Amino acid sequence: MIHLTCLNEIKPGERAVVSSLRTTGSMRRRLLDIGLIENTDIECIGTSPGGDPSAYLIRGAVIAIRSEDCKDILVKI
């Protein structure tokens, strides 16, 4: 069963697949540039001590994304 959720809902060690981006403008361009396109595998590596940002493994690179921006990234678990 596929469950659709926001990227900030996945916990360290969990994997998901990007479904869509709900953001526009320069933030959308940045996310696309780092490889966050539809059907991309993504894994939560960990969070900072304060909980924000979180680190994600995307196409072999570790990228930190703020939870404010993660809310606009829909993933399938």
Q: Strands, E, within the chain: which ranges?
A: 4-6, 15-21, 41-47, 54-58, 61-65, 73-76
Domain count, the chain: 1
Task: Please state the pTM of the whole predicted model.
Answer: 0.88
What pLDDT tens digit does each residue of the chain (77 aa) get? 678 999 999 999 999 999 999 999 999 999 999 889 999 999 999 998 887 899 999 999 999 999 999 999 999 98
CATH number for the domain that contains residue 66: 2.30.30.90
How confident is the model at residue 1, as a pLDDT? 67
Residue 59 belongs to domain spanning: 4-76
How confident is the model at residue 52, as a pLDDT? 86
Which of 32, 20, 28, 23 has the alpha carbon at shortest distance from 74? 20
Count CB-CB contacts under 10 A for residue 42.
22
